[in-house]
Structure 1
Amino acid sequence: MARIVQFHEAGDADVLKIEEVDVPAPAPDEVQIAVRAIGLNRAEVRFRQSAYIQKAQFPSKLGYEAAGIVQAVGSQVSGFAISDVVSVIPTEDMARWGTYGELINIPARHVVKHPSNLTFEQAAASWMMYIAAWGALVQQAGLKAGDFVIVTAASSSVGTAAFQVAHAVGAKVIATTRTSAKAHALRDAGADFVIATEEENLVARVMEITKDQGARIAFDPVGGPNIAILADAMAKRGMIFSYGALNRDGGPFPQFPVVAKSLTVKGYLYSEVVDNDDTLERAKAFILPRLHSGEFTPLISRLFPFDEIQAATRFLESNEQIGKVVVTVAGSAHG
């Protein structure tokens, strides 16, 4: 038996319940992990609210990220042993392989022996954000030295990870945020330029920064009317990645700038990386050495204990954070 977070109906954070559940032995291709830290993501909020691409079957587990200690390995698993310190790359099914719990089973291809310089909290905060940023910016867009990339809603964990991924290839980051309240913190986190969109004209500022060339790439979790504004700020043959759909309101499709600038507007999911073995291995090869060297350092906004899982997800939903919200899990009989 182990304590696992489940929910029995869609709703706000109050529906999250910590329940005693019998955790089975790992399947032949799985690794069982005694969890020490859990990284929270907005996708899990949307899943809980029944507003995500995956729908829950109740009672449902949830969660994409965690770090901990290997407790058991499936009969077909090689490369992992009991007591290994590991972290979880998000799976394609958080209901089946939810990470909000003391003891979890995860497919071995989604488990990594993370560098020893990382704490459990940092390791649990790493994989969704770096995988998501790398997949769009490097793997698909070919971001390179001298490029400008607009990162919207930049105080999110994926946003701050995108700063580090961009800098790793020599690109410049234009971060956007609604007001100037977070501007100093975003610069500290690595943004080369910050635009407060409620106080400044985004298009005019981007053109000023890029000497009227526009940005080659935009990495946008907001969507809605935001796409039309970004289109006007793009360079010719630029790419807009829409990956979060935080704004559920429709907006006008920016047909004229899309055609006039030969823009690509692409929907993007992290699963485009993790559902392909070769792409996933390339992502690991890009991310792991930089985590080890310290070039990539996960930015953690705030820690919460496991018993405060509802408060932790409410804080995530408040938009007050800059970086990752992480839940810590105390040691137990599981490891």
Structure 2
Amino acid sequence: MSRVIEFSSTGGPEVLEFKEVEVADPGPGEVRIRVKAIELNRAESMWRNGEYIEEVKLPARLGYEAAGFVDAVGPGVTGLLVGEAVNTVPAFSQNQYGMYGELVIAPVSAVVKHPPGLSFEEAASIWMMFITVYGAFIEAADLQAGDVVLIPAASSSVGLAAIQLVNMMGAIPIALTRTSAKRQQLLDAGAALVVVTEEQDLTAEVLQFTGGVGARVVFDPVGGPGLGKLVKAMKTGGILLAYGALSEEPAQFSYLDLLIKLPTIVGYTIWNTSGDPARQKAAVEFITAGLAAGKLTPRIDRIFSFDEMVDAHRYLETNNQFGKIVVTV
């Protein structure tokens, strides 16, 4: 028997329910994991609210990232031993699997070996953010040393991961944040420049910093009315990667700016990378090497206990965190 978390109706954190269930033996291509730590993602909050890119089928489980020990392996699974430390990466539908539990089933295609030297809390926090930025910058944007990169919502976990990877590649990260409250933290995290968008002229600041050239890469999870300012701040022929839609307002930009800047605008999700076995393997190897070299590092804001999962979700939705939220089991 194991405690897991489910919800029978969509809504706020209070819809999360603890259930005592019997966890079956893993089937073909599956692994059973005894969980030690779980990482919270914005995608799970959206899923719980019924606002995710996939329609939720109730009653539902949730959770993408967990770290723990292999408890059992299903038929046909090779390369993993019972008792071995492993992590899960976002490479499945939450309609099929959910990592919020003491004992969970995961598809082997989403199970990776635990990186050396990391705690379970640290390992649970790395894969969503680092695979997302790897796929965006290395695969989609072909990031090169010296490229200037605009990072809106830079104090998010993915934003912080982006700053690290951009620096790792010898490129130049410009962090965007709405207020000055997190400005120094972003500079300390490695941003070459921080633009406070509610107090400064974004386009003017970026063009001044780049000598009038603009940023070659924009990595935007927001959209909305501010998209036009991002386009204006771009280098001619640059690439804008849209990986989220935090703004509920329509995206706005000038067609004339499109003719002037000639940007490539690409929609990107982690599934582009994690859903392809060869690309996922390359991403995991790149991230593991970056962790070992100290170029990529986990950043945990706060740790909750499993019993505090509802409180952890409430904290996630305050948007006050600087780094990842982790739950220990």
Q: What is the TM-score with the length of structure 2 in the denominator?
A: 0.98
Shift of 1:204: 0.7
Shift of 1:251: 2.8
Q: Which amino acid aligns with 1:229?
A: K
CA distance in 1, matches of 2:146, 2:192: 12
Shift of 1:95: 2.6
CA distance in 1, matches of 2:304, 2:183: 25
User: Given that residues 91 and 109 in structure 2 are in contact (C-alpha distance below 8 angstroms), is that contact kept between their aligned partners in structure 1?
Assistant: no
Counting only pairs closer than 5 Å after superposition, residues 15-164 of structure 1 correspond to structure 2 as 15-164=15-164
> Which residue matches 2:4?
4
Q: Does residue 300 of structure 2 align to residue 300 of structure 1?
A: yes
CA distance in 1, matches of 2:222, 2:251: 11
* Alignment deviations for residues 279-298 of structure 1 (CA, whole Å, 9 cap, x no partner): 11211121111122322111
User: Given that residues 121 and 326 in structure 1 are in contact (C-alpha distance below 8 angstroms), is that contact kept between their aligned partners in structure 2?
Assistant: yes
Give the SS at the match of 2:224.
coil
User: Given that residues 232 and 261 in structure 2 are in contact (C-alpha distance below 8 angstroms), is that contact kept between their aligned partners in structure 1?
Assistant: no
User: Given that residues 152 and 159 in structure 2 are in contact (C-alpha distance below 8 angstroms), is that contact kept between their aligned partners in structure 1?
Assistant: yes
CA distance in 2, matches of 1:319, 1:118: 26
> Which residue matches 1:174?
174
Q: Which amino acid aligns with 2:25?
A: A
User: Given that residues 229 and 253 in structure 2 are in contact (C-alpha distance below 8 angstroms), is that contact kept between their aligned partners in structure 1?
Assistant: no
CA distance in 2, matches of 1:28, 1:17: 29
User: Given that residues 257 and 263 in structure 1 are in contact (C-alpha distance below 8 angstroms), is that contact kept between their aligned partners in structure 2?
Assistant: no
Give the SS at the match of 1:66.
strand
Residue ranges of structure 2 left out of the alignment (5+ in a row): none
Shift of 1:16: 0.8
User: Given that residues 39 and 66 in structure 1 are in contact (C-alpha distance below 8 angstroms), is that contact kept between their aligned partners in structure 2?
Assistant: yes
Q: Which amino acid aligns with 1:304?
A: F
CA distance in 2, matches of 1:107, 1:167: 33
> Which residue matches 1:186?
186
User: Given that residues 303 and 326 in structure 2 are in contact (C-alpha distance below 8 angstroms), is that contact kept between their aligned partners in structure 1?
Assistant: yes
Q: Which amino acid aligns with 1:254?
A: S
CA distance in 2, matches of 1:276, 1:203: 37
Structure 1 segments of 4+ aligned residues over 3 angstroms from their partners: none
* Alignment deviations for residues 226-261 of structure 1 (CA, whole Å, 9 cap, x no partner): 211110110011111111111121132432212221
CA distance in 2, matches of 1:316, 1:4: 20
Shift of 1:268: 1.1
Counting only pairs closer than 5 Å after superposition, residues 183-262 of structure 1 correspond to structure 2 as 183-262=183-262
User: Given that residues 91 and 97 in structure 1 are in contact (C-alpha distance below 8 angstroms), is that contact kept between their aligned partners in structure 2?
Assistant: no
Give the SS at the match of 1:182.
helix
> Which residue matches 1:310?
310
User: Given that residues 3 and 101 in structure 2 are in contact (C-alpha distance below 8 angstroms), is that contact kept between their aligned partners in structure 1?
Assistant: yes
> Which residue matches 1:332?
none
User: Given that residues 227 and 254 in structure 1 are in contact (C-alpha distance below 8 angstroms), is that contact kept between their aligned partners in structure 2?
Assistant: no
Q: Which amino acid aligns with 2:101?
A: G
CA RMSD of superposed structures (Å): 1.1
CA distance in 2, matches of 1:99, 1:107: 11
CA distance in 1, matches of 2:245, 2:37: 27
* Alignment deviations for residues 51-79 of structure 1 (CA, whole Å, 9 cap, x no partner): 11111111100111110111001111111
* Alignment deviations for residues 102-136 of structure 1 (CA, whole Å, 9 cap, x no partner): 11111112111122200001100000000000101
> Which residue matches 2:275?
275
CA distance in 2, matches of 1:193, 1:70: 43
CA distance in 1, matches of 2:254, 2:133: 24
User: Given that residues 65 and 87 in structure 2 are in contact (C-alpha distance below 8 angstroms), is that contact kept between their aligned partners in structure 1?
Assistant: yes
CA distance in 2, matches of 1:243, 1:221: 5
Q: Which amino acid aligns with 1:122?
A: E
Q: Which amino acid aligns with 2:220?
A: D
CA distance in 1, matches of 2:258, 2:316: 34
Q: Which amino acid aligns with 1:31?
A: V
* Alignment deviations for residues 296-328 of structure 1 (CA, whole Å, 9 cap, x no partner): 111111111111111111111111011111111
Shift of 1:92: 2.7
CA distance in 1, matches of 2:252, 2:221: 17
CA distance in 2, matches of 1:179, 1:72: 48
Shift of 1:278: 1.8
User: Given that residues 50 and 56 in structure 2 are in contact (C-alpha distance below 8 angstroms), is that contact kept between their aligned partners in structure 1?
Assistant: yes
- How many percent identity over aligned positions? 46
Q: What is the TM-score with the length of structure 1 in the denominator?
A: 0.96
